[in-house]
């Protein structure tokens, strides 16, 4: 094997890329928010008894909750319903979201609030508004992500630890490979130098031998 120094930078680049990929898992996950449970305490309708409840974040489309018709009933969802997810959150920015009831003239507001990734504890966030509604929102990726892998979230802590272990293993393996290659290259180099030196010494020996032979006139006997 010929030792090519150009392998080294390429390997180092690979290590850096691996570390970058592994240490910020949140940067590549989408923070989709789904509705888990909802319980409305009131309907604002005066005439028709079946309200049309919808969720909307500023900048998003309106999401109708077609099943939510009765007050004081807990609706539980699987997260896979046709209208899910409710929205997607950016990493470091909140969204202004609300729960509304469609009305002929002006939509009634259950509540409007700032929905943030950091509100989710272990991927779960409960929004309760006195006399209006109580909703549980889920966002598994909201807690996993962001450098603030908060120390008080056991699940994300475990996640971070797993990632660190993976990074350490990968870096160790690559470092070992680099060291082995370097040692091997060094050994090859040393071997070549040694051979050259030996050859030189050998030649010198011959020359000296020739000189001596000439001086002593022993060449005929050898
Ligand atoms: C979490 O992020 C991953 C990676 O982008 C994505 O595949 C997955 O659907 C996300 N899950 C949720 C619930 O947002
Ligand atoms: C809103 O709905 C329209 C039509 O259904 C769609 O083209 C658009 O991408 C949606 N926008 C968002 C932010 O979801
Ligand atoms: C809101 O709903 C959640 C989940 O159903 C429940 O654990 C919580 O006690 C409720 N909170 C109130 C104030 O009703």
Name every protein residue with a CB atom under 6 angstroms from any ligand 2 atom: 60-61
Lowest-confidence segment of 31-40, 45-54, 59-68, 206-215 by average pLDDT: 206-215
Ligand 2 geometric centre to CA of 120 (Å)? 26
pLDDT at residue 160, as a whole number: 78
Q: Is the pLDDT of residue 135 over 80?
A: yes
- Please tell me the predicted confidence (pLDDT) of residue 104: 79
Measured distance CA(65)–CA(70) in Å, rounded: 12
Taking CA atoms only, the protein residue closest to ligand 2 atom 10 is: 61
Q: Mutation test of ligand 1: which of 26, 30, 84 has the most ligand atoms closer than 8 Å to its C-beta?
A: 30
Asked if residues 67 and 75 have their Cβ atoms less than 8 Å apart, the reply is yes
Q: Is the pLDDT of residue 119 over 70?
A: yes
pLDDT, tens digit (0-9, with 9 covering 90-100), for 171-190: 999 999 999 999 999 999 99
d(CA 27, CA 8): 28
* Residue 87: both structure tokens together: 């929205």
- Ligand 1 neighbourhood includes 32 CB (under 6 angstroms): yes
CA distances from 39 to 56, 107, 116, 137 (A): 17, 19, 21, 12
Class of domain 32-140 as given by CATH: mainly beta
Taking the centre of ligand 3 as the mean of its atom positions, its distance from the CA of residue 38, in whole angstroms, is 9
Alpha helices in the chain (DSSP H): 7-23, 140-144, 154-216
State mean pLDDT over 144-171: 68
pTM over the 0.85 mark: no
Name the residue of 57, 61, 87 to mutate for ligand 2: max ligand atoms within 8 A of Cβ.
Answer: 61
Show me where the domains of the chain are located. 7-23+161-215, 32-140
pLDDT reported for residue 173? 92
For the Cβ of 134 lying below 6 angstroms from any atom of ligand 1, the answer is no
CB of 57 closer than 8 Å to CB of 94:
no
Angle at 129 between CA 124 and CA 135, to 5 degrees: 35
pLDDT number for residue 208: 74
Whether residue 85 has a cis bond before it, omega within 30° of 0: yes
Ligand nearest to the CA of 57: 2
pLDDT bin (cut points 50, 70, 90) of residue 206 is confident
- How far away, in angstroms, is 173 Cα from ligand 1 center? 29
Looking at the chain, the whole-number percentage of residues with pLDDT higher than 90 is 50
pLDDT over 70 at 216, yes or no: no
In angstroms, the Cα distances linking 14 to 137, 170, 172 are 39, 10, 13
Label residue 220 by pLDDT band (50, 70, 90). Answer: low
Least confident of 2-6, 51-55, 125-129: 2-6
> For a pocket test of ligand 1, which of 32, 123, 146 has the largest count of ligand atoms closer than 8 A to its C-beta?
32
Q: What is the mean pLDDT of the chain?
A: 81
53 contacts 99 by C-beta, under 8 angstroms? yes
């Amino acid at each position: 094997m010929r030792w090519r120094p150009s392998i080294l930078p390429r390997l180092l680049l690979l290590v850096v890329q691996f570390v970058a990929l592994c240490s910020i898992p949140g940067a590549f996950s989408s923070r989709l928010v789904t509705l888990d449970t909802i319980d409305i305490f009131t309907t604002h309708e005066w005439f028709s008894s079946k309200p049309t409840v919808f969720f909307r974040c500023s900048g998003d489309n309106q999401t109708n909750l077609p099943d939510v018709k009765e007050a004081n009933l807990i609706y539980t969802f699987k997260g896979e319903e046709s209208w899910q997810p409710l929205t997607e959150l950016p990493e470091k920015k909140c969204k202004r979201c609300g729960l509304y009831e469609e009305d002929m003239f002006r939509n009634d507001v259950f509540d409007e609030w700032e929905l943030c990734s950091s509100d989710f504890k272990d991927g779960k966030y409960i929004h309760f508004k006195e006399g209006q509604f109580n909703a549980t929102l889920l966002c598994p990726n909201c807690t996993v992500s962001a450098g603030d892998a908060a120390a008080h979230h056991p699940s994300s802590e475990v996640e971070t630890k797993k990632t660190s272990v993976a990074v350490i293993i990968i870096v160790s393996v690559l470092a070992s490979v680099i060291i082995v290659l370097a040692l091997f290259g060094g050994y090859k180099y040393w071997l070549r130098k040694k051979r050259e030196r030996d050859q030189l010494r050998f030649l010198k020996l011959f020359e000296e031998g020739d000189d001596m032979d000439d001086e002593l006139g022993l060449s005929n006997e050898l």
